[in-house]
Amino acid sequence: MKLRKILLLFIAVSAVFTACNKDDEEVFVPVPLRDANEVYDEDIEEIETYLQTHFYNYEEFEQNAPYSLANDTFQIVFDTIAGNNADKTPLMDMVDFKIVPSGDIDYKLYYLSVREGLGDVIHFTDQATLSYKGISVTDNYLFDSSVNESQLNLISVGALAGVIPGFREGILEFKTSDGFTDDFDGTTTYHNHGIGAVFIPSGLAYFNQALAGVPGYTPLIFKIDLYKRTILNHDGDAIPSYKEDLDLDEDAYDDDTDGDLVPNFLDNDDDGDGYFTNDEVEYGEYVIMTGDPEPTLAENEFESSRDEFNGVITIQTVIVTDRNEDGVPDYLDINTIPE
């Protein structure tokens, strides 16, 4: 069996047991498989009905500037539009959506961006530091939540389980915080981070897998506070995993330059020329003080790490070279070898 098939099989199995790092003692009980298109039609109708009939506490959020200390601790609360709340603006008028292809279905994934965030973009291969709450669209049952901030891998690799596709796609619509305050009690207050929610059809969640208190084929909602990202380099080859998605389709497993059945992001010799990728790039370093302007990087240069100590910031970079100027980076070009 080809490695890719083995990896995908492992991921499929891992997905059965992984959502947002569910507790080990939870039992997932499968129910009989149904037609995916039929289930999606039911799910999207249920989600859109929810969006038309519910609102969130936007008036509380709007009492302060979006990016303010007061809103750094804002928590989304959903409620029904009825009675004293009959005049509230429905979620449907506030959400955006993206199309997420999976199998033969183009899923509509709605997401609520209360605020996008002022920090870094997050990549589909990163590790996210965040807090979240998962509830059922059907009855608002809280089935999962993070007591403290959690670190979740957005992609499944080996023993490192990822998250459900709808959760990952929602996370990608937000940015991290741009700073934090140590509360000196074991907690941290993050500033200007992304706050929102994603409404997930079951085909991008657990599909027929039942959770504790949630039947199979149930569309879900995750409320999200995105704090930090860690850019992962799964094979340690100097190229971050997200940059090894050469066709930009957010599938790291289908990029295999040397055709050895090991995807580039898990291959420390991407072009199969016998030389490590680490040795086919160059490196740079910049030292600045806190508050100084950021260094201007070349077009073929990117930051690989950053350390700060006593106001001194040391930035390490990777420089992607193309010595024979054929438009193919040396680390992907079997015709060039390290000097």
CA nearest neighbour of 160 among 21, 277, 337 = 21
- What is the distance between the alpha carbons of residues 156 and 169, in angstroms, rounded to a whole number? 14
pLDDT in tens, 90-114: 999 999 999 999 999 999 999 999 9
- What is the distance between the alpha carbons of residues 106 and 54, in angstroms, rounded to a whole number? 25
A 10 A CB-CB count for 163 gives 23
CATH number of the domain that 138 lies in? 3.10.50.40
Report whether pLDDT(324) > 50.
yes
pLDDT in tens, 256-277: 999 999 999 999 999 999 999 9
Report whether pLDDT(189) > 90.
yes
H helices present in the chain, as ranges: 3-17, 36-53, 58-61, 165-171
The answer to the question of residue 267 being in a domain is no
Check residue 300 and give its pLDDT.
95
Model confidence at 28, in pLDDT bands (50, 70, 90)?
low
Report whether pLDDT(16) > 50.
no
The answer to the question of residue 287 being in a domain is no
Q: Which residue type is seen at 323?
A: R
Please state the rounded mean pLDDT for residues 136-145: 95
For 61, phi then psi, to 5°, come to -65, -40
- What is the distance between the alpha carbons of residues 193 and 178, in angstroms, rounded to a whole number? 7
Q: Please tell me what DSSP assigns to residue 154.
A: S
Name beta bridge partners: 14. none
Q: Are 89 and 78 in contact (CB under 8 A)?
A: no
Check residue 5 and give its pLDDT.
30
The first and second tokens of residue 272, run together, are 């199969």
The first and second tokens of residue 117, run together, are 């965030």
Please state the rounded mean pLDDT for residues 147-160: 89
Model confidence at 148, in pLDDT bands (50, 70, 90)?
confident
The answer to the question of residue 338 being in a domain is no
The answer to the question of residue 76 being in a domain is yes
Report whether pLDDT(160) > 80.
no
Number of domains in the chain: 1
Model confidence at 221, in pLDDT bands (50, 70, 90)?
very high
Model confidence at 27, in pLDDT bands (50, 70, 90)?
low
Check residue 290 and give its pLDDT.
86
Domain that holds residue 172: 3-230
3-state class of 320 per DSSP?
Answer: coil
Check residue 252 and give its pLDDT.
95
The answer to the question of residue 308 being in a domain is no
Check residue 3 and give its pLDDT.
28
Please state the rounded mean pLDDT for residues 195-212: 96
The answer to the question of residue 291 being in a domain is no
DSSP track, 196-262? EEEEE-GGGTTTTEEBTTB-SS--EEEEEEEEEEE---TT-SSS-GGGG-TT-SS-GGG--TT-SSS
Model confidence at 14, in pLDDT bands (50, 70, 90)?
very low
Report whether pLDDT(15) > 50.
no
Sign of the Cα pseudo-torsion (279, 280, 286, 291, in order) = negative
Q: Comparing 3 with 183, which gets the higher pLDDT? A: 183
The answer to the question of residue 206 being in a domain is yes
Q: Comparing 4 with 80, which gets the higher pLDDT? A: 80
Q: Which residue type is seen at 208?
A: N
C-alpha 338 chain-centroid distance: 35
A 10 A CB-CB count for 139 gives 9
